Amino acid sequence: MKIAIIGYGKMGKAVEAAVKTAQHEVVAIIDSAAAEATAEAISREALNGAEVAIDFTHPDSVISNIRKYAEAKVNAVIGTTGWYSELPEVEKIVSLGGIGLLYAGNFSVGVNTFYAVVAEAAKRLSSFGGFDVAIHETHHTGKADAPSGTAREIANTILANFGSKKKILLDNAEQPVKPDSLQISSSRVGKVVGIHEVTFDGESDTITLIHSGKNRMGYASGAVSAAQWLQGKHGVFTAKDWLGL
């Protein structure tokens, strides 16, 4: 494949390495600040014949980026999070543009397996009763959004499988947490790649499920694999479609 990398920060560099490992071709690196970039802004010319763009940029720019991919008829893999409230608009853009778009809060196969483990635990413990559940996530200080897209996906998984939880409570509560609220708290410290913890607490025992990212290559390799899967497809897809979960 001919791949354009959009955003040349730590994830962009990891994606470049993963593209080369998979023996695909990087035809464009687009970043407004990176000296190594081949262009500062997205355009048909800057995309340079790419078949797919892999985008790890910023929530504020992702919708505009997707419009440009649609105009250029270039498929897109979106790893940027924090924009999901705009999904209906994105679906329209993708449909009108006739492109394929795959988005995920996390492209790690391990994380997506973690979702399935959490779903099963939530389902079982909810049926037994007597358990409560909460989520905590930790990332590096440069992360643009909180909570992470991965934490939000974990929360949605729990809401779908843990009967007593009906809504999400973000960050630290300043009053007692209501039984129907699922709390997500966040920490930003140092250079942590990503840690997600789900705690199920009952009267007699506690179960803590943890996924800890060691480096960015799992995410980058997953994004390249998703780009391969997206070839020839039209519409909006998620990691569940890509991995068959």
Q: Which of 2-11, 144-153, 180-189 has the lowest mean pLDDT?
A: 144-153
Domain assignments of the chain as residue spans, ordered by start? 2-107+217-243, 109-212
Looking at domain 109-212, does it have CATH number 3.30.420.130? Answer: no
Whether 116 and 245 have beta carbons less than 8 Å apart is answered as yes
Q: Is 149 exposed, middle or buried (0-12, 13-18, 19+ CB in 10 A)?
A: buried
| Catalytic site residue from 123, 143, 233, 234 | 143
Whether 139 is catalytic is: yes
19 pLDDT exceeds 80?
Answer: yes
Give me the residues paired with residue 6 across strands.
30, 55
Whether 10 is catalytic is: no
Confidence of residue 240 (pLDDT cuts 50, 70, 90): confident
The predicted model gives 25-42 an average pLDDT of: 96
pTM listed for this prediction: 0.77
| Catalytic site residue from 68, 139, 165, 196 | 139
Percentage with pLDDT > 70 across the chain:
99
172 pLDDT exceeds 70?
Answer: no
Assign a CATH topology to domain 2-107+217-243: Rossmann fold (3.40.50)
